Amino acid sequence: MPDLDPTTDFIAGTAAGIVGLLIAHPFDTVKVRLQNPDLSSRYHSVSHAFATIIREERFSGLYKGIASPLATCAFTNGLVFASYKFFLKAQKVDDSIPSLTEVAIAGTCCGFAMSFFSAPIELIKIRQQSMLESGLGSVSVSKLIYSIHREHGLKGLFRGLTATALRDCGYGAYFLGYEATSRYLTAPSPRLDGSTSLSDSSQGSIPLWVLFVSGGVAGVLGWLPTFPMDVVKTRMQSTEISRNTMRSEVTTGDNPYRTILSTIQHSYRTGGARVFFRGLSPTMLRAIPVNMATFAVYETVANILSS
């Protein structure tokens, strides 16, 4: 990736995030519905979930909850790329090409830092996506924030923070997959020794297909290691609204999804190991095209701004 100033990183990351979000959100809505323990039984498969949501809630139902991430996309996605570069440079004492280990460490630190911003955003998004009424959501973002804060205080907005941080550590594999693939495809000889990378190649000489392939690989590798934790996070963040406003099955006793450990234990006891991979199909379906577009837009915008 090009060595840019933080402002350029932020702007390019913002543009890439908006494009990626518009492509990804329908798949994300289906993923959340399949992972939500109160809603998953309504859908037999990914295609059935898509068809049911469109039939019952119109096409706009697939974009429920998009307001929260879209409103903050300019901040969060730009911050992802800017913070990744910050942690990458923090490990360097010279201008040498970062090793793949340094890339993975920078990505992991970036994901951990970003979780403090993404946890409340995802909480609001998931709760809107879990509403079955037609339209983009019957409860606005401001009303949801007010309701959560009134009942649980500020900590209520950070429900699932630890699970979000553990999931977002997948940015290490995400950036590693992108950099390793791009180095492999642009190296004079096919090897992963770090001898060639996008950061020291001429931007004009990098074919678009290299950006597409590298982005697709990054999307898959970024999700696979941490997907079970994404299921845990979604269950923790979605059950509270079901309990209070949707006549959830959780009506008496303690919420079994109150902590990471209790969520893992209850989920495994009731659904087996495969429950931790619910929603994997729509996630993989979106990961490749979304991240192909994300990195292509990032590199293109960064090249324009730095030229």
Q: Compute the average pLDDT of residues 294-307.
A: 86
The three state secondary structure string of the chain is CCCCCHHHHHHHHHHHHHHHHHHHHHHHHHHHHHHCCCCHHHCCCHHHHHHHHHHHHCHHHHHCCCHHHHHHHHHHHHHHHHHHHHHHHHCCCCCCCCCHHHHHHHHHHHHHHHHHHHHHHHHHHHHHHCCCCCCCCCCCHHHHHHHHHHHHCHHHHHCCHHHHHHHHCCHHHHHHHHHHHHHHHHCCCCCCCCCCCHHHCCHHHCCHHHHHHHHHHHHHHHHHHHHHHHHHHHHHHHHHHHHHHCCCCCCCCCCCCCCHHHHHHHHHHHHCHHHHHCCHHHHHHHHHHHHHHHHHHHHHHHHHHHC
Quick one: pLDDT at residue 247? 40
Q: Is the pLDDT of residue 194 over 90?
A: no
pLDDT in tens, 263-282: 999 999 999 999 999 989 88
Report in angstroms the alpha-carbon separations of 29 from 21, 35, 37, 63, 200.
12, 10, 14, 7, 38
pLDDT in tens, 2-40: 556 778 888 888 888 888 888 989 999 999 999 988 888
Residue 63: both structure tokens together: 């974009």
**Residue 249: pLDDT band with limits 50, 70, 90:** very low
Q: Is the pLDDT of residue 97 over 60?
A: yes
Q: What's the number of CA atoms in the CB half-sphere (13 Å) around residue 182?
A: 31
Quick one: pLDDT at residue 213? 94
Contact (CB, 8 A) for 140 and 185: no
Tokens 């951990």 belong to residue: 112
**Residue 142: pLDDT band with limits 50, 70, 90:** confident
Quick one: pLDDT at residue 81? 86
What is the distance between the alpha carbons of residues 242 and 247, in angstroms, rounded to a whole number?
Answer: 6
Q: In the chain, what percentage of residues exceed pLDDT 90?
A: 41
Is the full-model pTM beyond 0.75?
yes
Q: How far apart are the first and last CA of the chain?
A: 15
Q: Which of 57-66, 128-137, 160-169 has the lowest mean pLDDT?
A: 128-137
Quick one: pLDDT at residue 220? 94
Q: Compute the average pLDDT of residues 180-190.
A: 81
Quick one: pLDDT at residue 119? 92
Quick one: pLDDT at residue 2? 56
Q: Which of 181-185, 194-198, 284-288 has the lowest mean pLDDT?
A: 194-198
Give ∠ CA 277-281-283 in degrees, rounded to 5: 90
Quick one: pLDDT at residue 304? 87
Stronger pLDDT, 201 or 293, i.e. the higher one: 293
Quick one: pLDDT at residue 248? 40
Q: Which of 62-66, 192-196, 250-254 has the highest mean pLDDT?
A: 62-66
Contact (CB, 8 A) for 168 and 111: yes
Quick one: pLDDT at residue 251? 41
pLDDT in tens, 197-246: 444 444 445 688 898 999 999 999 999 999 999 999 999 998 764 444 33
What is the distance between the alpha carbons of residues 244 and 50, in angstroms, rounded to a whole number?
Answer: 26
Quick one: pLDDT at residue 103? 95
**What radius of gyration, in Å, describes the C-alpha atoms of the chain?**
20
Residue 145: both structure tokens together: 């924030």
Quick one: pLDDT at residue 275? 93
Q: Is the pLDDT of residue 252 over 60?
A: no
Average pLDDT, the chain: 83
pLDDT in tens, 63-75: 988 887 887 776 7
Burial of 5 (0-12, 13-18, 19+ CB in 10 A): exposed
Quick one: pLDDT at residue 242? 40
